[in-house]
Amino acid sequence: MTTVAPAPQDPPQDIQPEDLQIVTSRFHNPQGHTLAAYIQSGGYSGLQRALEMAPAKVHDEVRAASLLGRGGAGFPAGVKWGFCPPQVWPRYLVVNGDESEPGTYKDRLLMERDPHQLIEGCMIACYALGLSQCFLYVRGEMAHAQERLAAALNEAYEAGYVGANVCGSKHFSVDITLHWGAGAYIVGEETALIESLEGNRGMPRLKPPFFPAAIGLYGKPTIVNNVETLSNLPWIIANGGEAFAAMGAESSTGTRVFAVSGHVVNPGVFEVPFGTTTFRDIIFSSRYGGGLRPDRSLKAFIPGGASAPWFYEEHLDLHLEKTAVDKAGSMLGSGAIVVMDDTTNIVAACHNLVRFFARESCGKCTPCREGTSWLEKILSRILAGQGRPQDLDLLLDVCDNISPGIKWPPRQTTICPLGPSAVSPIASALQRFRSEFEAYTP
Amino acid sequence: MARLGPANITLAKEIISRYPVARSALIPLLHLAQEQDGYVTQEAMAHIAELLGITPAEVLGTCSFYEMLKQEPVGEYMVNICHGISCHLLGASELIGHAEKTLGIKAGGTTEDGKFTLEAVECVAACTEAPCLQVNYRYRNKVSLADFDQLVERLRAGTSSIAPHGKLARTRQQIDDERRAGVSPPDGATQAPWLDTNSNSNGDIDNKTIDNKTADNKTTDNKTADNKTGVSP
Amino acid sequence: MNAPESLATEVGINITINGEPFAAAEGELVIAAAERAGVYIPHFCYHPRMSSVGMCRMCIVDIDTGRGPALQPSCMVPVSENMVVDTTSPQTKKAQDGVLEFLLLNHPLDCPVCDKGGECPLQDQTMAYGPGESRFVEEKRHYEKPIAVNDLVFLDRERCILCDRCTRFADEVAGDRLITFQDRGDQTQVNTFPHLPFSSYFSGNTVQICPVGALTAKPYRFKARPWDLSEVESTYPNPMGDRVVVQASRDQVLRYQGADSDAVNWGWLADKDRFSFEANVSEMRLGAPLVRGTPLGVPDAAGTELVQTTWHTALTQAADAISAAIDAHGPASVAVLGGAQLPNEDQYAWARLAKAVIGTDNTDAQLHDGLPAEAVLGLPRATINQACTPGGTVILLAPDPKEQHGTLYLRLRHALTKDDVQLIELTPTASGLSHLAAHRLHHRPAEAHAVAVALVGGEMAPDGNGCIGGVLADDVAAAAASLAARADRPITVILGRPSLAEPASCTLAAASELAQFGKLLEAGGRPGLAFLPLLHRGNVFGALDMGLAPRLLPGRVGLANPNPALRKVWGSLPQTPGLDAHGILSAAANGQIQVLILLGADPLSDMVNRELAMKALDAVPTVIASDTLPNSSTAKADIVFAAAAFTERDGTHTNAEGRVTRQRQIVTPNATARPDWAIASELAGQLGCDFGYTSPQDIWAEVCHLAPSHQHLQAAQLDSRDGALVIESSIDFAGSEQVEPTPSVDSYSLRLVSTRQMYGKATITQNAPSLAGLARPATLLLNGSDFQRLGVAQRTVVRVISNTGELDVPVSSSADVPRGTAALAYNHPDVDVRALLNHQEAVTDIRILTK
């Protein structure tokens, strides 16, 4: 079923990844999070440049950059910005720093290592779109990121980059309010994030009508952007949208940060050219994941976080590019690549992922609330040796009732994609490794 | 203490003032209550309800949704071992089993001396550092069984710098009144003033560059902000 | 469900439902359009009177808006042109079956012992479409079995399917956010905050709208099975005329459910009304007539006891007393008080008996706690829907609707929170709507007039403190600006008695100013201003329309201007204009009334001037009472007729808008109790006049024949849920120029305000065991600064002294009360504020002694 992976290929010779670092350029500097180091390395020049431009022009640059959202859905940020209805005020910016998708680890680093870059990105977005207050929602469990951001904000306020009369301008004044979550994965979903920010239970709202860009925080137009997305803005404005678009692939521009974890020799967080690097590169290259441990073979890998259908050997040469991955039946999602080698107990891994969604279901929609926990109970029972032969079909039928047709992209009987996300690992695992389940259900 | 103390009331009011709608401060105030008492007491919930002009039931509704907010006393150290998929693949179950044995409690339990609460938690975003754990939300990476025992020893001996459960960031956001742009309430705001279509550059910068030197010299207290438990991938 | 009126006339949106074309209304939800098209889409969380949440997912159907069919929740999607809806596709069926299975996973199989069994949507769906057996072999969720969320409602969390109906009701309809979702995921539950019950005047509605048996009402638990119940649609006798479904089993009323009248109560009821059926079936109900007798039960006119007798004896005694009084002292020596709770027909029969047969105009359905009939019938009248017109203005010149007119409070609350209606309070204390009010003009007691003058832009100089009537002149000016700014939308004045510690004239003077302002607006082509009068007691508006008030005849006609049809049927009319309740009791106290007839009235408990009522009842030689339950006044009566309750007879009711709706009989009268119309007819017969009535329908036909305002009413209209509006009135209200002088308050005194609370000493409430104990503890409420000056702890018992009397009561601070004012409930079962009330002046000032 699994084959030994061929020798890893290095990335194409003409691309030097370190030259292409955009958002992680200060990660090597232990002081990179301070204002002094930030300014020394060109920080806040993007904001200054933006303020010399008309706001609409700043938006144009972001459009020209074709910057795809880095949170999971991969929607172009410039287009999303354009969805704000005209003449409805105020408008808000909400920064989604609630990174919690299993396997995903990049936004926390961006907040801890380069908080000013994020802050500058926020201010550029506010300037471009006339957003009059920004809320920076950081996952509750990330105490260190909260600290770094608080310190950076305090510096940025004092130095005039945030707050009243930004950079000495007469009219551009925006507060950034640092806000902590308190432990709920679902809050990473943008409408749930808004609910949470309003002091409510983080239960998603139905879209339509509650597209945040039109009806968001306090019912007002709200741009919800991911940390990595916003962290790209200073570079884009300082260097121009076209320069950004020139990097990476045509449909997936710039660079992207991926976390490679699981059964690799060198797990790590890597910023790579978006769209031109392959899975084989990032998993096997010595520059990146460093390949599997000796004598191990690849069983499966998750290309884009726990919600994504699994990929296998035959997908390794796909580029880390949105369209290609979508077409192959999965997603790049949140930039989380989790590698499972041949030692992996597939049933346990599947159970692990399903348990996550069952625990994190908000409880609003019946199919997700009842369905995910039912799936988890069945899988627990199977793992405990209490499985029945009919349980495998039952699993699939329950999946079908949460996500009709068990297709990709998923259809859903629920408001948000959390419930259908629990279907991905089951569908993947049962399709490829049914015999391993059958071994549990005599 | 159960209701917020005087200093925390002042802080709470300052936090509320940062939001256009008071209720948005609910989760921050629940964190504040947890910081004060180690968990969120019913009295604190009722007090927060008063401060925000909502009902205690609404406070509880929100509070109980979020895993970090504890309604019962927990240990001084909340040991959260990640069992997300990446940690699972690299031995989280073994680590949890070991921790249960070392601490003599099941995951979810608190040691009799009130020192430790052990929890198996979902992914805490340190996937490349698996298996990992958090102690009061401070990371420990690539934790071996021996590492775990050492950690427990240090925590028991009181030689750790980790603050008791409830305290999150040690640096708070502070906004001087004169630097404040002001909240933007949902009703009544007009178009953002810098979106004036008549001019090319609408930042209206008077002195185009900020005195970078001043900014340079203003090194913040980043020693306190630094965190020895942070990761270096 | 009926289509809302507003939808019926609009241009349709063409959609296709299950292959059939249908013209839906703009903005209509697919689920509602389908229902009107005769296609039922199963649902649990959707409720037409609350916002959609799309939680249960049961209503997902295939909806195609041009991009191919996709499963969407029909409760969240509005119709759009050329939309194709398929509720029968295999995909829809599979998804709905899946949702049903999910809902049943953790739902206990206790239908046989569940109150909801037989009327349970979940059970019905399962019976119709559910799987024969469960594929779920795991353990179900467990919770402690039913927990009391308040004194009236139990919650069984195991049965709960988390549809958010009760919690949504508490949040967006009642505004009592005391039950919420707690915890998360499949551990989510509905609950209260620990030790903080769901104290809501409206909690019973959550039981009614619960789609399973998770919420049950204490008064109904285990009383009956739905298939044993018979039911009729009727009208609850309150001034809103809330539409209800009355359900009974084995000739006993067991439950009232709200009926969704678009014009009135939208399906909601206040608990006080919903659970009042207990009083109907109370052991205390009067079952036979009573007359004076000896302790051994022997009838004796001089007896100290009330003893049971036959109807013949009681009626004859009554007729004899009336005849003797007329003969010896003239017809004006007979007076009729009360009747406000009776159906229109009964009120009419009593009015005809009093005015045409006896010949006395001394009739008053109100007990000096309302407004003069001429004002109510003479001012332009608003409907509830008009008051709730989006973008309109409501001026509250009345007591707190939350405490006195529950469903109006709910309607107004909806208008304020969802429909951008602005509220201006012109009241002496805060109300349950104050936090939603645009302007709170909380004036000094009895000084509404000055504020009203300034509010409508008149000249009114502020005093030395920059205040008008105790309200900052700037605040009044801001309210005046808001009022003017929205003058192109309807303005509705909710008109009642904001405090019973001041005379009605204070309110009338303010109302007159507003009425004049309305006329000016109308002259300027604006919608103008209309009044929604809110008086106390069930069918008080019917009573005024039926002529149970001095100087009035049925059909909103003055005694001086009888129409020919009435004159012909009635024959004779009173020679002299009569007295109102205060006048009647004053005359009685002076020995001028020989026979006093009390129709469901309890002046000893209800008259603002308690001393006067006591003197009067002591002085009247013959007191005749007709009532369903004994009260302190019937105890003093010489003859008591046992009357039928509204569930025990047919009739019609008139609400505050002038809306006439039907009341229908469902059970036989208690023991030998008789409807009041029959009692009046019998007495008329004994007094020599045969009314010829054999049923309430006969009477109604007569009313429609001779009451000018009622001549257009069609029976078919009355049969509808929303009934028919009576609009015409020939009564002219000239306005009141009388402005009561208010003495200045000395710095040691506070000025008293007193209004009714929801739960009080009312006979019905006190005879319903579930409601009797719900009155809040009596408390004198003071503003924080006044309270601080007392230097005592909250709820310390103090002595309160006025010119009239004194009493002891706990005192507390309240932000609802302005400085210089003190508030004490009017109708508390234990503390009777009337001991303090000053009847010589427009205000009652009190002093507080701490011990």
pLDDT tens for each residue of C356-365: 999 999 999 9
Whole-number Cα distances in Å, C154 to A374, C149, C203, C217: 28, 6, 10, 6
**Is residue A89 within 8 Å of residue A219, measured between CB atoms?**
no
Domain membership of residue C57 as a residue range:
4-102
Q: Is residue C297 part of a domain?
A: yes
Q: How many CB atoms lie within 10 A of CB C647?
A: 27
d(CA A285, CA A9) in angstroms, rounded, equals 6
Contacts of C138 in chain A (CB under 8 A): 374, 377-378, 381
Closest chain A residue to the Cα of B14, Cα to Cα:
A177
Distance between A23 CA and the closest CA of chain C, angstroms: 36
Q: Is residue C88 part of a domain?
A: yes
What are the start-end ranges of the E strands in A323-366? 336-341
Q: Please return the burial class of C685, using the count of CB atoms within 10 Å of its CB with bins 0-12, 13-18 and 19+.
A: middle
pLDDT digits (tens, 9 = 90+) for C455-488: 999 999 999 999 999 999 999 999 999 999 999 9
Do C400 and C487 belong together in one domain?
yes
Q: Inform me whether the C-beta atom of residue B112 falls under 8 Å from chain A C-beta atoms.
A: no
Mean pLDDT of chain B: 87
CATH value at residue C45: 3.10.20.740
Q: How far is B35 from chain A (nearest CA, A)?
A: 13
CATH of span A247-341 = 3.10.20.600
Q: Give the nearest partner residue to A413 out of C53, C71, C135, using CB atoms.
A: C71
In total, how many domains does chain C have? Answer: 4
Residue C478 belongs to a domain with what CATH number? Answer: 3.40.228.10
> Model confidence at C182, in pLDDT bands (50, 70, 90)?
very high
Chains within contact range of chain A (3+ C-beta pairs < 8 Å): B, C
Q: Using a CB–CB cutoff of 8 Å, tell me whether B115 touches chain A.
A: no
Radius of gyration of chain B (CA): 22
Q: Are residues C690 and C594 in the same domain?
A: yes
A378: chain C residues, CB-CB within 8 Å? 138
Token pair for C654:
């008139």
| Positions in chain A short of pLDDT 50 | 1-16
Residue C278 phi, psi dihedral angles, 5° rounding: -60, -35
3-state secondary structure of C113: helix
CATH number for the domain running over B77-157: 3.40.30.10
The yes-or-no verdict on residue C9 having pLDDT over 60 is no
Q: How far is the alpha carbon of A391 from chain C, nearest alpha carbon, in Å?
A: 10
- Domain identity same for C387 and C505: yes
Chain A CB within 8 Å of residue C188 CB: yes
For position A347, what pLDDT does the model report? 97
Domain residue limits, chain B: 1-73+175-209, 77-157
Residue C723 lies inside a defined structural domain of this protein = no
B130/A261 Cβ within 8 A: yes
What does the block give as tokens for A165?
């009369």
In chain C, % of residues over pLDDT 70: 99
- Of the options 1.10.10.200, 3.40.190.10, 1.20.1440.230, 1.10.1520.10, the CATH number for the domain spanning A346-440: 1.20.1440.230
Instruction: Give every CB contact of residue C609 below 8 A, 6+ residues apart in sequence.
Output: C368, C582, C585, C834, C837, C839
Domain extent listing, chain A: 20-245, 247-341, 346-440
**C179 contacts chain B (CB < 8 A):** yes
What are the tens digits of pLDDT across the range C429-459? 999 999 999 999 999 999 999 999 999 999 9
Give residue B40's Cα distance to chain centre: 14
C41 to chain A, closest Cα gap in Å? 16
Residue C546: the pLDDT is 98
Complete DSSP assignment for B55-80: -HHHHHHHHTTSTT--SS---SEEEE
- d(Cα C384, Cα C590) in Å, to the nearest integer? 43
Mean pLDDT of C744-773: 95
**C768 and C832 belong to one structural domain:** yes
Q: Specify whether C496 is located in the same domain as C642.
A: no
What residue type is assigned to position A419 of the chain? G
Looking at C484, C518, C533, the residue that finishes a domain is C533
- C184·A394 Cβ contact <8 A: no
**Helix C448-455 and helix C504-523: axis angle, to 10°?**
10
Mean of the per-residue pLDDT values of chain C: 95
In this prediction, residue A441 carries a pLDDT of: 85
Whether C29 maps to a domain, the answer reads yes
**Edge-to-edge strand list for the sheet holding C439-442:** C439-442, C422-427, C393-397, C491-495, C529-533
Is the minimum CB–CB distance between A415 and chain C shorter than 8 Å? yes
The predicted-structure confidence for C111-130, as pLDDT tens digits, reads as follows 999 999 999 999 999 998 88
Residues of chain B scoring pLDDT < 70: 1, 188-189, 197-233
Chains within contact range of chain C (3+ C-beta pairs < 8 Å): A, B
* CATH code assigned at C564: 3.40.50.740
Given B57, B64, B65, which is nearest C178 (Cβ)? B57
> Contact, C57 vs A414, CB < 8 A?
yes
C398 and C518 housed in the same domain: yes
Q: DSSP letter string over C301-369?
A: TT-SEEEE--HHHHHHHHHHHHHHHHHHH-GGGEEEEE-TTS-HHHHHHHHHIIIIII----EESS-SS
Q: Looking at the domain assignment, is residue C741 inside a domain?
A: no
Which one, of B93, B94, B116, lies nearest residue B103 by Cα? B116
What are the tens digits of pLDDT across the range C629-658? 999 999 999 999 999 999 999 999 999 999
In chain B, which residues have their Cβ closer than 8 Å to the Cβ of C184?
A: 64-65
Mean per-residue pLDDT, C765-769 = 96
Residue type at C794 in one-letter notation: Q
Q: Are residues C515 and C378 located together in one domain of the fold?
A: yes
Q: Is the pLDDT of residue C317 over 70?
A: yes
Cα separation, C452 vs C474, in Å, equals 14
A359 in contact with C, Cβ within 8 Å: yes
In a shared domain, residues C764 and C627:
no
Mean pLDDT of C807-830: 97
pLDDT in tens, A393-434: 999 999 999 999 999 999 999 999 999 999 999 999 999 999
Are C506 and C548 part of one and the same domain? Answer: no
Radius of gyration of chain A (CA): 22
| Chain B residues whose beta carbon lies within 8 Å of the beta carbon of residue A39 | 212, 215-216
pLDDT at B165: 96
Nearest CA in chain C to A366: C56
Asked if the A20-245 domain carries CATH number 3.40.50.11540, the reply is yes
Residue C76 touches chain A, beta carbons under 8 Å = yes
Inter-chain CB proximity C184 and A201 less than 8 Å: yes
Provide the percentage of residues in chain C whose pLDDT is more than 90.
93
Which among C102, C119, C143 is the end of a domain?
C102
B1-73+175-209 has CATH 2.40.420.20 classification:
no
Residue among B170, B175, B210 whose CB faces A163 most closely: B175
> CB neighbours of C22 closer than 8 A, spacing ≥ 6?
C14, C15, C16, C33, C36, C37
- Interface check for B45 against chain C (CB to CB < 8 A): the answer is yes
Interface contact C134, partner A, CB < 8 A: no
CATH number for position C802: 2.40.40.20
The pLDDT of residue A18: 55
CA of C38 vs chain A CAs: smallest distance (Å): 25
Q: What is the ipTM of this complex?
A: 0.93
